[in-house]
Amino acid sequence: MADAAALVVEPVEAIPGLLVVRLPVMADSRGWFKENWQREKMVALGLPDFGPVQNNVSFNTVRGTTRGIHTEPWDKFVSVVTGRVFGAWVDMREGASLGARFSIEIDPSVAVFVPRGVGNSYQTLDDATTYSYLVNEHWRPTTAYPALDLADPTVAIGWPIPLSDAEISEKDQHNPRLDAVTPMAPRRTLILGAGGQLGRALAAEFPSAHAVGRAELDITDTAALRAWPWHEYDTVLNAAAHTAVDAAETERADAWAANATGPAVLASIAREHRLTLVHFSSDYVFDGTATSYDEDAALCPLGVYGQSKAAGDLAVATAPRHYLIRTSWVIGAGHNFVATMARLARDGVSPTVVDDQVGRLTFTAELARATRHLLTTRSSYGTYNVTGTGEPTSWADVAARVFELTGRSPEDVSRVSTADYYARNAPTPDSGATIAPRPASGVLSTAKIEATGFTPADALTTLTAHVTTC
């Protein structure tokens, strides 16, 4: 067969996300051949890896058959097998491009990628035209979606064959005009674990997101996760976790269910529904023997909490679109180390605090800001460390600074080694409680996320502002 022109992907300026694809068609005396969908080549040229699950073919008997304008809630890749069509698209999504239109003639050498929420229509220019389209959601008879009047004067599509002479279904003759159509809303962001410190900060940073606590959706309930209406979402922020480090030593099943099994199910769901999964992890996936850890450091957890978080990390990494955010020493609104130290300072108590565990504080608002940055900039998927910056400190250093900020002398904080602290505060044998091992160093390098343009705040500067709220 004869050589054809190269595959080309052309963005359409008027309708964001709409792409025209010029397909090489190889022809000889026998006929012609084309690769109608070639994932590797097309994705490399900028076509979304949209994961088609259904291929529909529409045979149109006569020239002038006109279908649409239908706005299905899924992506489509349209082309023709035989004949030609005049294709027309109208942006039906909320936003500045609502009502924008685009049209092009499609023969076997042209295809169009149509993003979710863009109304799709065509008019056949030849008899016996076969129109084909790939979609990435299974069609269901209960699915409702907006449609638009083919003759809408606001859009004013220039149909080559007058609609009065066209073959149009009864249903398509009664679609509403643009001013009567409810625009299609974008898929939503779901926040899991919204009742915790991090979940509340994420809800504040993403106010239009659907934030749910454990009572509404428990990530340890696999059946509930599978039954959730994931087609309504495009991003999941998973702040749900079992974070009680010492309790995890005896609550092993609970810790693994929340920190490992739940994230593994979410990763599977993210693959199936093409979701972006953001998951938050911990410096406890390391043993603390290194001075600092970057994103490629080998996992080497000490206790059950760290082991279960490490297992969750490995599971989340299997989701094609994932951001795994590792952090340390998390502080937010509510009960935490800084709030406890501020209360003790104001109550006149002089605590003893360990001084041989080293790391950097990370405030939940910073984690939420970093999350938005990664999503907004569409940074490369993968693992990112996010902590406060500045010189690493010990927990005793943090406590002393909190005391100073509340008007107490930093000398009122006594310092002790981890071994001595737990020797003095060991649980009684009959309590059933266990002390979990802690990494001596939880210092995480933030160079990778800084290279994307994000500048983490200085940990002690943020601490100064935070203490006034405690």
DSSP track, 435-453: PPP--SB--B--HHHHTTT
**CA neighbor of 133 nearest in space, from 38, 35, 52, 44:** 52
How much is the pLDDT for 154? 95
Question: How far apart are alpha carbons 108 and 4 in whole angstroms?
Answer: 12
DSSP 143-182: ----B--TT-TTT----SS-GGGSEE-TGGGGPPPGGGS-
**CA neighbor of 415 nearest in space, from 404, 426, 399:** 399
- Report whether 385 contacts 443 (CB < 8 A): no
* Residues comprising the chain, all counted: 470
Q: Which regions of the chain are under pLDDT 50?
A: 1-2
Q: Pairing state of beta strands 233-238 and 276-282?
A: parallel
The reply to whether 335 belongs to the active site is: no
How much is the pLDDT for 432? 66
How much is the pLDDT for 434? 82
**Sign, Cα dihedral of 66, 69, 72, 77:** positive
The one catalytic residue among 122, 131, 133, 233:
133
| pLDDT, tens digit (0-9, with 9 covering 90-100), for 88-143 | 999 999 999 999 999 999 999 999 999 999 999 999 999 999 999 999 988 777 77
What separation in angstroms does the CA of 268 have from each of 121, 263, 318, 383, 411?
34, 9, 8, 18, 51
Q: Is 195 exposed, middle or buried (0-12, 13-18, 19+ CB in 10 A)?
A: middle
How much is the pLDDT for 2? 46
How much is the pLDDT for 435? 86
Question: How far apart are alpha carbons 188 and 403 in whole angstroms?
Answer: 42
Question: How far apart are alpha carbons 183 and 90 in whole angstroms?
Answer: 11
Question: How far apart are alpha carbons 90 and 341 in whole angstroms?
Answer: 58
The one catalytic residue among 70, 210, 231, 373:
70
User: Which H or E run includes 124?
Assistant: strand 118-124
- Report whether 440 contacts 379 (CB < 8 A): no
**CA neighbor of 452 nearest in space, from 390, 375, 387:** 375
Q: Pairing state of beta strands 25-28 and 31-34?
A: antiparallel
**CA neighbor of 281 nearest in space, from 303, 302, 307, 257:** 307
Question: How far apart are alpha carbons 414 and 438 in whole angstroms?
Answer: 20
How much is the pLDDT for 1? 42
All domains of the chain in start order, with CATH = 8-180 (2.60.120.10), 188-467 (3.40.50.720)
How much is the pLDDT for 431? 67
**CA neighbor of 375 nearest in space, from 449, 323, 446, 315:** 323
CB burial string 350-385: b at 16+ within 10 A, e below? eeebbbbbbbbbbbbbbbbbbbebbbeeebebebbb
The reply to whether 145 belongs to the active site is: no
| Averaged pLDDT score across all residues of the chain | 94
Please state whether the predicted TM-score (pTM) of the whole model is above 0.75. Answer: yes
Beta strands in 317-385 (DSSP E): 322-327, 330-331, 352-354, 358-359, 362-363, 382-385
Token pair of 190 as six digits: 């779901």
How much is the pLDDT for 141? 76
How much is the pLDDT for 439? 95
